[in-house]
Structures are given as structure tokens and as C-alpha cells.
Amino acid sequence: MKKPILAVALSALLAAQAGFAAAEDVKVGTVMGITGPLANFIPPILNAAKLAEADVNAGGGILGGGKFELVVADGQAAAQPSVDAATKLVNLENVAAVMGALSSGATIAAANAVTIPNGVLQVSPTATSPAMTDMDDGDFVYRIVPSDNYQGEVLAKIVLDEGIERVAVAYVNNDYGVGIAGTFKENFEKLGGTITGYEKHEDKKNSYRGELATLANGDPQALVLIAYAGGSGAKIVKQSLEAGLFDRFIGTDGLRDDLLIEQVGAEALATSFFSAPTSPAENPAGEALHKRFDETYGEGSDKPFVDQSYDATMLIALAIEKAGTTDRTAIKDALRFVANAPGEIVGPGEWEKAVKLLAEGKDINYEGAAGSHEFDDNGDVAGFIGKFVVEGDSYKQIAIFE
């Protein structure tokens, strides 16, 4: 009688060991600008990624029940620090994929130096530079916000619709600033607008008064400012107001930062407006995510790029689950299969449903809080651009363009 009991026990042990082996913990890196010009944006963006992480683990885990873990590194929204952060994540932490970086320059630098050479999937929730479209990336670099080619076109129309036909343009000298300034200028002039001054600047100067005095020539009706509020942006607005050179500002997403309101005051920004990537107006998935986000963190669901950060993290997790492995190339190959139609729709918070469908061999199509993410051949997506104004101590969206 002992032999059958022993055999049964051994069989149960082997089965348990097999089940344990099937569960694989997975690390995914996140390159965040925790310090630097985007620091004010980071807390809600990082919380959104952590909410996706929590949803995966609460929904049964990844790859047979393993733990899904985000490993955060500070890229400082700058090129070399982001290369260093990505190097640490890829070579030391051995992450399966990378979510980030945030700024365009940081994303491009980390991709060219680290993720592309090492064959690691990289998905940015916020990088918008047109230079990313034609990168020779081996299909390893993606983003889930529209290119600034589109935002520049939309912003040109918004400005002219406001009856503003003459503007000066100041832009920070990096991939983000150069990219969107060029597309805005091209489209604004094509539509009949006049650029009275067009000046690039470096991010960390103490004074921009000389550049601003030059830009104020030619009778512009407003200053189009493409910069990060935490870098040169707030300083330029402040110095413009102090010198009486400009009193109306038109900004892009880098300027849509609470820091600008804190440093300048809402009253001084009463006639200003801003463009930024946004989410669709009618989106129950986004509304449900925002409710859970605020219940979890108290507030912040209305801050920039919360939806995109959650979606980028969730798409990476779904690609890993679809691949069934932490093999980096297999994860890259799986991304479009979970993001693009056709497939059964799954949304934020529906990890268990997605895992079940994938286990049954069915196609899924993730429809996120920030909308559909249908990747084209370049890893780009279409998307939505919002128009924002200052209301009280925050920004209010008053229009959406798609």
C-alpha cells in the first residue's frame, strides 16, 4: 500500500512543481523624468503605470500567475541620463520591455543607444517628435500619442480660428521643440498666417529677455511658446510679462503644467490657450479608469498623460502575456496582435478577461483609456488633440480635435 501512496504523493509534488515553474515573474522598466523639467508631471503619470501594474497582479498575475513588476529609473527628461537609466534597466535589471521615456529627446536617445541595439520593446506614452516616425528601429519603438506633425497642424488651425493671424514663435532647442515648431510654422503659413519671429533657445538660461525683445518686433498678436514649463517655459512667460513684451501665450503640452499657473498666476493666463494630446470625449473606459484612479490616489486623473501611461503599461503586459514568454523579440512581435483590430475588445481593468481570451487562442483588441491604439508600420498612432484654457488653479479642456 505504501508504494501507491508514495507514487501519488510524488505525482502531486511534480505537478505542483510544474505549476510553480509555469508562473514567471516579469520585470518591465519605466524611464521617468522624476527630476528635471518634467518633474511636476511625474506623480500622476507614474501612479497610472502603477495602477496598471496593480490591475495585472490583482487579476491573477502574468505568465501563469507570476508577479508583474515595474522597475522605475530616472531619466531626468534628458538624453544622457535616459541612456544611463535604460542601460541599467536593460543590462542590470534584465527587464522584458521598457515603458518610456517621456520627452522625445530622451526617448530617441535611449532607443538608439540601448533598446534598439539590445532588441528590447520600448513604448513611450508621451514622446511626440516627428523624428521618431522614420527611426531605423527594427520595429522595437512605439508611441501611443500622435506625432507633432498632427499637433502642429491642429494648433495652426486653432490659432487662426481665434482670429490670431500674426504670431512670434519661441521653441526649445531639442527634438520636441524643433519638431513641433517646424510643423506649426509650415501649417500656419500654409493657411495664411504670418510668423513675425522664429527663435530657438536653450533650456537652462537665466534670462531670455534678449530673445524676447527680438521676438516682440513685427507686431505679433501672441507668442507661441513650445517648451517645458519646468525648463524654460515658465521663465519665458514670466519675463515676457515683466518686460511688457507679450501678454498672450499659446502653448503645447509641455506648457500645460500646473507649475506655470503657480509661478505666473491664472489671471495673467486668462487669454492664453494650449494644445495637448488627449483622450476621446465619449469614452466609458476612460471614465471608469479615472474613477478608480481617484479612489486609489485621491486625485490626479485629469492630469496630462495619465491615460496614456496606463495604456502603455497595459499594452506591454498584454504583449508579454500574448507572447507567453519574456523573450524580448517575441514580446515585440506580439504587440500589434493585442493592440490592433480585429479581436475581441478588452479595456482597462479587464486583465482577467484578456488572459482568458488569450489562453483560448482568441485575438484581442485593447481599447484604452486614451482611445484605440492602432499602430501603423512605423509604430505611430492616430489620436486626439485637445484645446485647453486656464480655469482657476488648473486647465480645462474646451475642445477636442481628431
Structure pTM?
A: 0.91
User: Which residues pair with residue 399 across a beta bridge?
Assistant: 387
DSSP for 317-359, written as a single string: HHHHHHHTS--HHHHHHHHHHHHSSSSEEE-TT-HHHHHHHHH
> Helices in 162-205 by DSSP H: which ranges?
175-190
Nearest Cα to Cα of residue 61 among 381, 261, 399, 320: 320
- Name all contacts of 374-377 with Cβ < 8 Å and 24+ positions apart: 374/339, 374/340, 374/341, 375/142, 375/335, 375/336, 375/339, 375/340
> What's residue 308's pLDDT?
97
Bridge-based pairing state of the strands 394-401 and 384-391 = antiparallel
Bridge-based pairing state of the strands 222-226 and 273-278 = unpaired
> What's residue 6's pLDDT?
36
CA distance 385 to 251: 13
CA distance 62 to 206: 48
> What's residue 22's pLDDT?
55
Task: Tell me which residues of the chain have a pLDDT lower than 50.
Answer: 1-21
**Largest Cα–Cα distance of the chain, in whole Å?**
100
